[in-house]
Amino acid sequence: MSVPQLVVHRDKELMAQAAAARLITKIVDAQASRGSASVVLTGGRNGNGLLAALAAAPARDAIDWGRLDLWWGDERYLPEGDPERNVTQARAALLDAVPLDPERVHAMPASDGPFGADVEAAAEAYAAELAKAAGPENHGSVPTFDVLMLGVGPDTHVASLFPELPAVRETERTVVGVHGAPKPPPTRISLTLPAIRAAREVWLLAAGEDKAEAAAIALSGAGEIQAPAAGAYGRSRTLWLLDSAAASQLPRSLYPPASP
Ligand SMILES: O=C(O)[C@H](O)[C@@H](O)[C@H](O)[C@H](O)COP(=O)(O)O
Protein backbone atom coordinates (compact mmCIF):
# COMPACT_ATOMS: atom_id res chain seq x y z
CA MET A 1 0.00 0.00 0.00
CA SER A 2 1.51 3.35 -1.01
CA VAL A 3 0.96 6.31 1.31
CA PRO A 4 -0.99 9.09 -0.43
CA GLN A 5 1.09 11.92 -1.86
CA LEU A 6 -0.72 15.23 -2.41
CA VAL A 7 -0.18 17.92 -5.02
CA VAL A 8 -2.34 21.03 -4.79
CA HIS A 9 -2.77 23.44 -7.67
CA ARG A 10 -4.17 26.97 -7.67
CA ASP A 11 -7.42 26.12 -9.46
CA LYS A 12 -9.21 23.37 -11.37
CA GLU A 13 -7.95 24.48 -14.78
CA LEU A 14 -4.31 24.41 -13.68
CA MET A 15 -4.90 21.08 -11.94
CA ALA A 16 -6.25 19.58 -15.19
CA GLN A 17 -3.37 21.00 -17.25
CA ALA A 18 -0.72 19.84 -14.79
CA ALA A 19 -2.32 16.40 -14.50
CA ALA A 20 -2.43 16.11 -18.30
CA ALA A 21 1.27 17.00 -18.53
CA ARG A 22 2.01 14.45 -15.81
CA LEU A 23 0.05 11.79 -17.72
CA ILE A 24 1.88 12.51 -21.00
CA THR A 25 5.23 12.00 -19.26
CA LYS A 26 4.04 8.82 -17.54
CA ILE A 27 2.78 7.31 -20.81
CA VAL A 28 5.89 8.31 -22.78
CA ASP A 29 8.14 6.80 -20.11
CA ALA A 30 6.11 3.56 -20.02
CA GLN A 31 6.23 3.26 -23.80
CA ALA A 32 9.98 3.92 -23.81
CA SER A 33 10.67 1.24 -21.22
CA ARG A 34 8.01 -1.38 -21.98
CA GLY A 35 6.89 -0.65 -25.52
CA SER A 36 3.32 0.20 -24.55
CA ALA A 37 1.28 1.84 -21.80
CA SER A 38 -1.97 0.97 -20.04
CA VAL A 39 -4.20 3.68 -18.53
CA VAL A 40 -7.58 3.52 -16.81
CA LEU A 41 -9.83 6.53 -17.42
CA THR A 42 -12.47 7.94 -15.12
CA GLY A 43 -15.74 9.68 -15.85
CA GLY A 44 -16.92 12.94 -14.36
CA ARG A 45 -16.02 16.61 -14.78
CA ASN A 46 -12.47 16.34 -13.39
CA GLY A 47 -11.69 13.24 -15.46
CA ASN A 48 -13.05 14.78 -18.65
CA GLY A 49 -11.35 18.08 -17.83
CA LEU A 50 -8.02 16.25 -17.75
CA LEU A 51 -8.73 14.61 -21.12
CA ALA A 52 -9.65 17.96 -22.67
CA ALA A 53 -6.44 19.49 -21.29
CA LEU A 54 -4.50 16.57 -22.73
CA ALA A 55 -6.13 17.08 -26.14
CA ALA A 56 -4.92 20.70 -26.08
CA ALA A 57 -1.45 19.97 -24.66
CA PRO A 58 1.47 20.97 -26.97
CA ALA A 59 3.33 17.74 -26.08
CA ARG A 60 0.25 15.57 -26.71
CA ASP A 61 1.66 13.70 -29.66
CA ALA A 62 4.80 12.68 -27.84
CA ILE A 63 2.48 9.80 -26.94
CA ASP A 64 2.50 6.92 -29.43
CA TRP A 65 -1.30 6.63 -29.49
CA GLY A 66 -1.16 3.31 -31.34
CA ARG A 67 0.62 1.68 -28.38
CA LEU A 68 -1.73 2.81 -25.62
CA ASP A 69 -4.33 0.57 -23.96
CA LEU A 70 -7.28 2.47 -22.48
CA TRP A 71 -9.62 0.94 -19.91
CA TRP A 72 -12.40 2.44 -17.76
CA GLY A 73 -12.78 2.44 -14.00
CA ASP A 74 -16.53 2.55 -14.35
CA GLU A 75 -19.33 3.15 -16.80
CA ARG A 76 -22.91 4.16 -16.70
CA TYR A 77 -24.97 1.19 -17.98
CA LEU A 78 -26.74 3.00 -20.83
CA PRO A 79 -27.14 2.44 -24.59
CA GLU A 80 -24.12 2.82 -26.89
CA GLY A 81 -23.57 6.47 -27.77
CA ASP A 82 -25.65 7.79 -24.88
CA PRO A 83 -24.21 11.24 -24.04
CA GLU A 84 -24.12 10.26 -20.36
CA ARG A 85 -21.75 7.33 -20.96
CA ASN A 86 -18.18 7.93 -19.80
CA VAL A 87 -16.77 6.59 -23.08
CA THR A 88 -18.99 8.97 -25.08
CA GLN A 89 -17.67 11.91 -23.08
CA ALA A 90 -14.07 10.67 -23.32
CA ARG A 91 -14.37 10.39 -27.10
CA ALA A 92 -15.63 13.97 -27.30
CA ALA A 93 -12.91 15.27 -24.96
CA LEU A 94 -9.92 13.49 -26.53
CA LEU A 95 -10.23 10.01 -28.02
CA ASP A 96 -11.76 11.02 -31.36
CA ALA A 97 -8.91 13.50 -31.91
CA VAL A 98 -5.99 11.05 -31.59
CA PRO A 99 -4.96 7.98 -33.64
CA LEU A 100 -5.65 5.25 -31.08
CA ASP A 101 -5.67 1.58 -32.06
CA PRO A 102 -9.41 0.74 -31.75
CA GLU A 103 -8.47 -2.77 -30.60
CA ARG A 104 -6.78 -1.19 -27.60
CA VAL A 105 -9.71 0.98 -26.51
CA HIS A 106 -11.55 -1.25 -24.03
CA ALA A 107 -14.93 0.38 -23.44
CA MET A 108 -17.25 -1.27 -20.93
CA PRO A 109 -20.39 -2.90 -22.39
CA ALA A 110 -23.48 -0.83 -23.19
CA SER A 111 -27.00 -1.70 -22.10
CA ASP A 112 -28.14 -2.25 -25.72
CA GLY A 113 -25.27 -4.67 -26.34
CA PRO A 114 -25.21 -8.50 -26.12
CA PHE A 115 -25.94 -8.59 -22.37
CA GLY A 116 -29.09 -6.47 -22.47
CA ALA A 117 -30.32 -5.64 -18.97
CA ASP A 118 -28.01 -8.24 -17.37
CA VAL A 119 -25.40 -5.86 -15.99
CA GLU A 120 -23.80 -8.68 -13.99
CA ALA A 121 -23.08 -10.57 -17.23
CA ALA A 122 -21.69 -7.37 -18.74
CA ALA A 123 -19.42 -6.93 -15.72
CA GLU A 124 -18.23 -10.55 -15.99
CA ALA A 125 -17.42 -10.01 -19.67
CA TYR A 126 -15.28 -6.99 -18.83
CA ALA A 127 -13.53 -8.97 -16.08
CA ALA A 128 -12.77 -11.66 -18.66
CA GLU A 129 -11.36 -9.03 -21.04
CA LEU A 130 -9.11 -7.74 -18.27
CA ALA A 131 -7.96 -11.27 -17.39
CA LYS A 132 -7.19 -11.96 -21.05
CA ALA A 133 -4.97 -8.86 -21.14
CA ALA A 134 -3.23 -9.77 -17.88
CA GLY A 135 0.31 -11.04 -18.17
CA PRO A 136 1.74 -13.96 -16.13
CA GLU A 137 3.15 -11.43 -13.67
CA ASN A 138 -0.40 -10.28 -12.84
CA HIS A 139 -1.61 -13.56 -11.35
CA GLY A 140 -4.31 -13.72 -14.08
CA SER A 141 -6.78 -11.04 -12.99
CA VAL A 142 -6.01 -7.62 -14.45
CA PRO A 143 -3.12 -6.15 -16.44
CA THR A 144 -0.66 -3.94 -14.61
CA PHE A 145 -2.09 -0.52 -15.28
CA ASP A 146 0.56 2.21 -15.44
CA VAL A 147 -1.93 4.81 -14.21
CA LEU A 148 -5.46 4.35 -12.95
CA MET A 149 -7.33 7.66 -12.60
CA LEU A 150 -10.33 8.21 -10.34
CA GLY A 151 -12.55 11.22 -9.88
CA VAL A 152 -13.68 11.62 -6.26
CA GLY A 153 -17.34 12.18 -5.49
CA PRO A 154 -18.55 14.60 -2.77
CA ASP A 155 -19.56 11.48 -0.78
CA THR A 156 -16.00 10.07 -1.25
CA HIS A 157 -17.10 7.56 -3.93
CA VAL A 158 -14.58 6.54 -6.59
CA ALA A 159 -15.48 4.79 -9.85
CA SER A 160 -18.97 3.48 -9.02
CA LEU A 161 -18.02 2.33 -5.54
CA PHE A 162 -20.36 4.22 -3.24
CA PRO A 163 -20.16 4.30 0.56
CA GLU A 164 -21.68 1.26 2.28
CA LEU A 165 -23.04 -0.27 -0.98
CA PRO A 166 -22.16 -3.89 -1.92
CA ALA A 167 -19.64 -3.03 -4.68
CA VAL A 168 -17.16 -1.37 -2.31
CA ARG A 169 -17.25 -4.50 -0.11
CA GLU A 170 -16.22 -6.82 -2.99
CA THR A 171 -12.91 -8.53 -2.24
CA GLU A 172 -12.70 -11.21 -4.95
CA ARG A 173 -14.17 -10.09 -8.27
CA THR A 174 -12.42 -7.40 -10.35
CA VAL A 175 -15.56 -5.97 -11.98
CA VAL A 176 -19.13 -5.82 -10.67
CA GLY A 177 -22.55 -4.55 -11.64
CA VAL A 178 -23.91 -1.70 -9.50
CA HIS A 179 -27.60 -1.11 -8.81
CA GLY A 180 -29.15 1.84 -7.02
CA ALA A 181 -26.16 4.14 -7.36
CA PRO A 182 -26.94 7.43 -5.56
CA LYS A 183 -25.34 9.30 -8.47
CA PRO A 184 -27.50 8.84 -11.57
CA PRO A 185 -27.81 6.74 -13.55
CA PRO A 186 -28.50 4.06 -10.95
CA THR A 187 -27.14 1.08 -12.94
CA ARG A 188 -23.42 0.96 -13.56
CA ILE A 189 -20.39 -1.25 -14.06
CA SER A 190 -17.36 -0.69 -11.85
CA LEU A 191 -13.88 -1.94 -11.14
CA THR A 192 -13.61 -3.06 -7.52
CA LEU A 193 -10.98 -2.03 -4.97
CA PRO A 194 -8.88 -5.18 -5.61
CA ALA A 195 -8.74 -4.27 -9.33
CA ILE A 196 -7.94 -0.63 -8.57
CA ARG A 197 -5.11 -1.68 -6.26
CA ALA A 198 -3.48 -3.71 -9.07
CA ALA A 199 -2.41 -0.44 -10.71
CA ARG A 200 1.16 0.73 -10.39
CA GLU A 201 -0.12 4.24 -9.74
CA VAL A 202 -3.56 5.44 -8.65
CA TRP A 203 -4.28 9.14 -9.21
CA LEU A 204 -7.30 10.66 -7.48
CA LEU A 205 -8.61 13.85 -9.03
CA ALA A 206 -10.45 16.27 -6.75
CA ALA A 207 -11.10 19.86 -7.72
CA GLY A 208 -13.76 22.27 -6.48
CA GLU A 209 -15.19 23.30 -3.14
CA ASP A 210 -17.69 20.44 -3.27
CA LYS A 211 -14.79 17.95 -2.86
CA ALA A 212 -13.19 19.56 0.20
CA GLU A 213 -15.08 17.50 2.76
CA ALA A 214 -14.59 14.27 0.81
CA ALA A 215 -10.84 14.85 0.54
CA ALA A 216 -10.58 15.61 4.26
CA ILE A 217 -12.57 12.49 5.20
CA ALA A 218 -10.73 10.16 2.81
CA LEU A 219 -7.30 11.44 3.89
CA SER A 220 -8.04 11.38 7.60
CA GLY A 221 -7.85 7.61 8.01
CA ALA A 222 -11.52 6.84 7.35
CA GLY A 223 -12.42 3.26 6.46
CA GLU A 224 -12.88 2.29 2.81
CA ILE A 225 -16.47 1.07 3.27
CA GLN A 226 -17.57 4.43 4.61
CA ALA A 227 -15.11 6.37 2.38
CA PRO A 228 -14.23 4.37 -0.77
CA ALA A 229 -11.61 6.93 -1.86
CA ALA A 230 -9.65 5.95 1.27
CA GLY A 231 -9.31 2.43 -0.13
CA ALA A 232 -8.01 3.51 -3.55
CA TYR A 233 -4.25 3.14 -3.60
CA GLY A 234 -1.62 1.96 -6.04
CA ARG A 235 1.12 -0.61 -5.71
CA SER A 236 3.90 1.95 -5.97
CA ARG A 237 2.15 5.33 -5.86
CA THR A 238 -1.07 6.95 -4.69
CA LEU A 239 -1.34 10.55 -5.83
CA TRP A 240 -4.08 13.01 -4.91
CA LEU A 241 -4.27 15.84 -7.45
CA LEU A 242 -6.31 18.69 -5.97
CA ASP A 243 -6.99 22.34 -6.42
CA SER A 244 -6.86 24.78 -3.50
CA ALA A 245 -10.62 24.69 -3.07
CA ALA A 246 -10.74 20.91 -2.70
CA ALA A 247 -7.74 21.03 -0.32
CA SER A 248 -9.28 23.77 1.84
CA GLN A 249 -10.28 21.44 4.70
CA LEU A 250 -7.02 19.50 4.79
CA PRO A 251 -4.43 20.09 7.51
CA ARG A 252 -1.86 22.44 5.98
CA SER A 253 0.87 20.08 7.10
CA LEU A 254 -0.36 17.45 4.62
CA TYR A 255 0.99 19.20 1.52
CA PRO A 256 3.40 21.85 0.28
CA PRO A 257 1.79 24.27 -2.20
CA ALA A 258 2.59 23.00 -5.72
CA SER A 259 1.63 26.34 -7.18
CA PRO A 260 1.07 29.62 -5.28
O1 LIG B 1 -19.26 7.67 -13.70
C2 LIG B 1 -18.95 8.60 -12.95
O3 LIG B 1 -19.74 9.46 -12.57
C4 LIG B 1 -17.53 8.76 -12.50
O5 LIG B 1 -16.72 7.75 -12.82
C6 LIG B 1 -17.49 9.14 -11.05
O7 LIG B 1 -16.77 8.24 -10.24
C8 LIG B 1 -16.87 10.51 -11.02
O9 LIG B 1 -15.48 10.40 -11.31
C10 LIG B 1 -17.06 11.17 -9.68
O11 LIG B 1 -18.45 11.18 -9.39
C12 LIG B 1 -16.54 12.61 -9.71
O13 LIG B 1 -17.24 13.29 -10.70
P14 LIG B 1 -16.99 14.87 -10.92
O15 LIG B 1 -15.52 14.99 -11.30
O16 LIG B 1 -17.94 15.26 -12.02
O17 LIG B 1 -17.29 15.54 -9.61
Q: For 5-61, write each residue's pLDDT tens digit.
A: 999 999 999 999 999 999 999 999 999 999 999 999 999 999 999 999 999 999 999
CA distances in angstroms from 105 to 59, 100, 134, 164, 185, listed in the order given: 21, 7, 15, 31, 23
DSSP state, 185? S
C-alpha distances out from residue 86 to 35, 81, 160, Å:
27, 10, 12
Confidence at residue 2, expressed as pLDDT on a 0 to 100 scale: 79
Four-residue CA torsion sign, 145, 152, 54, 41:
positive
Inform me whether the pLDDT recorded for 257 exceeds 90: no
Question: Would you place residue 258 in the very low, low, confident or very high pLDDT band (cuts 50, 70, 90)?
Answer: low
Which residue CA neighbors atom 9 of ligand 1 most closely?
151
Asked whether the predicted pLDDT for residue 175 surpasses 60, the reply is yes
- Has the ipTM of the complex gone over 0.95? yes
Residue-level pLDDT at 139: 63
**Residue 115 CA, ligand 1 centroid: distance in Å:** 24
Ligand 1 atom nearest to CA at 73: 5
Predicted confidence at residue 252, as pLDDT, reads 80
Q: Residue 195: its pLDDT value, please? A: 97
Positive or negative: CA dihedral 153, 105, 176, 134: negative
**pLDDT band per the 50, 70, 90 thresholds, residue 158:** very high
Lowest mean pLDDT among 114-118, 134-138, 152-156, 165-169: 134-138
Average pLDDT over residues 200-229: 97
Q: Is 51 in the pocket of ligand 1 (CB under 6 A)?
A: no
Q: What is the pLDDT of residue 202?
A: 98
In the chain, the percentage of residues whose pLDDT exceeds 90 is: 92
Give the model's pLDDT for residue 56: 98
- pLDDT bin (cut points 50, 70, 90) of residue 254 is confident
42 CA to middle of ligand 1, Å? 7
pLDDT in tens, 100-129: 999 999 999 999 999 999 999 999 999 999
Pocket test for ligand 1, best of 160, 183, 189 (most atoms within 8 A of CB): 183
Best mutation site among 12, 45, 85 for ligand 1 pocket (most ligand atoms within 8 Å of CB): 45
What atom of ligand 1 comes closest to residue 205's alpha carbon? 15
- The response to whether residue 183 sits with its C-beta less than 6 Å from ligand 1 reads yes
**How many angstroms separate the CA atoms of 11 and 235, rounded?**
28
Closest by CA position to 45, among listed 16, 71, 19:
16
What letter would DSSP give residue 178? E
User: In the structure, what pLDDT confidence band is assigned to residue 253 with cuts at 50, 70 and 90?
Assistant: confident
Atom 13, ligand 1: which residue's CA is nearest?
44
The band of 259, judged by pLDDT with boundaries at 50, 70 and 90, is low
Residue 64 CA to ligand 1 center (angstroms) comes to 27
* Diameter of the chain measured on Cα atoms: 51
DSSP tag of 110: P
For residue 153, report the distance from its CA to the centre of ligand 1, in Å. Answer: 6
**Using CB atoms within 10 A of its CB, is residue 137 exposed (0-12), middle (13-18) or buried (19+)?**
exposed
Q: Which atom of ligand 1 is nearest to the CA of 188?
A: 1
pLDDT in the model for residue 136? 75
